[in-house]
């Protein structure tokens, strides 16, 4: 459960600021004197009221319907700004007008509804009339269009994108249960408004009495015909038989318990026998209902398979038409294909000739030239080395000269 309204208002970013005072002030004189400020403040109130309804700040308002009563300004009062004096200019369209109208009302913003039928009473009044003076005229239930669109989008997003026709046929009660499960907190009025929006504005469903056909995201966008009504009748019969079988099981168990209780309390045997006879009759009825339910389940499976097969065949037909359209392209004709293939082969041969000629005309690689030059140098050196060795072998050997010195004289030694 959300916090109280006072706590929610105190948590607003504008709470306690001078801006809140201007937002709470009377706007009756600003519509022409300061149009931009008027639109900005109306937009703030529109978004704030939409959030308050969606998050259930102020009951009895519900997610899609704003309930305006005489005490609402007091509940929305704040210490720093007082009571709101401008709520009378933020109303949209009354619930009864919204659901009764056949005109498509697919608006994206709350402010866009100013000028709609809900505004007639205001535009016809005196310009000097204050917002608070207009308050009694705006009390009642009003549709919050932004929230209606939000709820519709949330529900449509939850649908399987691969539904068959069989799965798209629902009863009204089944659709309402699905909506309530997807968007919690919806009242009966909310559900009525949302169904109106889905059928009239979004064109996502068709309704014919209790028969509902969901067409959102489907290729089959036709209305409800005999086929749809037949599927609905069969599904409803199966649902009734299922409930009957469950009820018969409960009644059989109760009759058995009553017979046992009669024997335990020593009641006359006729009483216990009566309960047993009732049990036997219920069991006979149950066996017949089970057979009928099995037959109905088989019929439903066959119908579901048939609708799926029909979708597959329609896809085959569409694929066949598309393929024939593609094959009818002049570029895919046999003579054209032969011409293109021969031309391509000729172009490839020409490209190979050009490539060979380009390779032959390319200058030598500098690295290859360097390697070849080094090889030639090695060959030259190898050719010179054997000649040098032969010349050195035939050259005469020259012995070193004898040393030239005179032996020492003995006289010199004696001396």
Contact between 113 and 145 under an 8 Å Cβ cutoff? The reply is: yes
Would you say residue 97 lies in a domain? yes
Do the Cβ atoms of 171 and 195 come closer than 8 Å?
no
Cβ-Cβ contacts under 8 Å for 180 (sequence gap 6 or more):
186, 191
Overall average pLDDT of the 271-300 stretch: 93
Burial degree of 338 (CB within 10 A; 0-12, 13-18, 19+):
exposed
Cα–Cα distance measured from residue 308 to residue 4, given in angstroms and rounded to the nearest whole number: 51
Pick from 28-32, 216-220, 340-344 the range whose average pLDDT is largest: 340-344
How many distinct structural domains can be found in the chain? 2
Q: Give, in order, the Cα–Cα distances in Å from 128 to each of 83, 122, 124, 134, 348.
A: 20, 11, 12, 11, 88
Residue pair 225/131 in contact by the 8 Å Cβ criterion: no
CA–CA separation, 258 and 252 (whole Å)? 10
- Residue 212 dihedral angles phi and psi, to the nearest 5°: -125, 135
Residue 19 sits in the same domain as residue 114: yes
In this prediction, residues 112-124 reach a mean pLDDT of 35
Residues 105, 231 within the same domain: no
Distance of CA 159 to the CA centre of its chain: 10
pTM score of the predicted model: 0.66
| Nearest of 54, 210, 71, 50 to residue 136 by alpha carbon | 71
DSSP one-letter code for 201: I
User: Please, are residues 42 and 114 in contact by the beta-carbon 8 Å criterion?
Assistant: yes
- Residue 258 maps to a domain: yes
For the chain, how many residues are written? 415
pLDDT tens, residue by residue, 42-72:
888 888 888 989 998 888 889 999 888 888 8
Choosing from 313, 330, 347, the residue where a domain stops is: 330
> Taking residues 246-260, what's their average pLDDT?
94
Please check the confidence at residue 87 and state whether its pLDDT lies above 80.
no
Whether residue 195 is contained in a domain is answered as no
Does residue 166 have a pLDDT over 50?
yes
Residue 159 lies in a domain: no
Pick the last residue of a domain from 115, 144, 173: 144
Full domain range(s) for residue 32: 5-144
Choose the final residue of a domain: 123, 144, 165: 144
Task: In whole angstroms, give the CA distance from residue 206 to residue 218.
Answer: 13
Residues 114, 21 share a domain: yes
113 and 239 fall within a common domain: no
d(CA 319, CA 371): 65
**C-alpha torsion sign, points 160, 161, 167, 171:** positive
Residue 332 predicted with pLDDT over 90: no
Is 230 found in the same domain as 121?
Answer: no
- Residue 308 falls within a domain, yes or no? yes
């Amino acid at each position: 459960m959300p916090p109280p309204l006072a706590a929610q208002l105190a948590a607003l970013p504008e709470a306690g600021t001078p801006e809140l005072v201007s937002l709470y002030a009377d706007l009756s004189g600003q519509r022409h004197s300061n149009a931009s400020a008027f639109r900005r403040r109306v937009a703030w109130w529109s978004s704030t009221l939409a959030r308050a309804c969606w998050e259930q700040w102020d009951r009895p308002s519900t997610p899609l319907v704003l309930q305006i009563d005489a005490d609402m300004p007091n509940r929305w009062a704040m210490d720093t700004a007082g009571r709101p004096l401008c709520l009378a200019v933020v109303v949209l369209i009354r619930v009864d007008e919204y659901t009764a109208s056949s005109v498509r009302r697919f608006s994206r913003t709350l402010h866009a509804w100013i000028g709609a039928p809900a505004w007639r009473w205001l535009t016809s009044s005196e310009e000097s009339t204050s917002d608070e003076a207009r308050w009694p005229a705006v009390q009642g239930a009003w549709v919050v269009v932004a929230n209606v669109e939000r709820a519709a989008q949330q529900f449509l997003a939850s649908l399987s994108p691969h539904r068959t026709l069989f799965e798209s046929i629902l009863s009204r009660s089944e659709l309402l249960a699905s909506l309530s499960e997807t968007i919690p907190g919806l009242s009966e009025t909310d559900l009525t408004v949302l169904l109106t929006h889905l059928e009239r504005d979004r064109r996502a469903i068709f309704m014919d009495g209790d028969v509902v056909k969901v067409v959102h995201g489907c290729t089959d966008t036709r209305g409800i015909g005999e086929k749809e009504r037949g599927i609905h009748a069969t599904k409803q019969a199966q649902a009734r038989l299922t409930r009957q079988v469950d009820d018969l099981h409960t009644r059989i168990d109760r009759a058995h318990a009553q017979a046992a209780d009669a024997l335990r309390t020593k009641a006359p045997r006729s009483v216990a026998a009566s309960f047993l006879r009732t049990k036997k009759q219920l069991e006979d009825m149950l066996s017949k209902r089970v057979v009928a339910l099995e037959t109905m389940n088989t019929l439903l499976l066959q119908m579901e398979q048939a609708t799926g097969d029909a979708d597959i065949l329609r896809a085959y037909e569409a694929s066949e038409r598309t393929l024939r359209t593609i094959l009818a392209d002049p570029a895919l004709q046999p003579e054209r294909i032969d011409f293109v293939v021969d031309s391509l082969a000729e172009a490839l041969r020409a490209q190979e000739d050009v490539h060979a000629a380009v390779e032959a005309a390319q200058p030598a690689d500098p690295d290859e030239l360097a390697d070849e030059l080094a090889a030639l140098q090695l060959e030259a050196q190898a050719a010179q080395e054997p000649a040098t060795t032969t010349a050195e072998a035939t050259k005469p050997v020259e012995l070193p000269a004898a040393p030239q010195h005179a032996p020492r004289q003995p006289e010199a030694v004696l001396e």
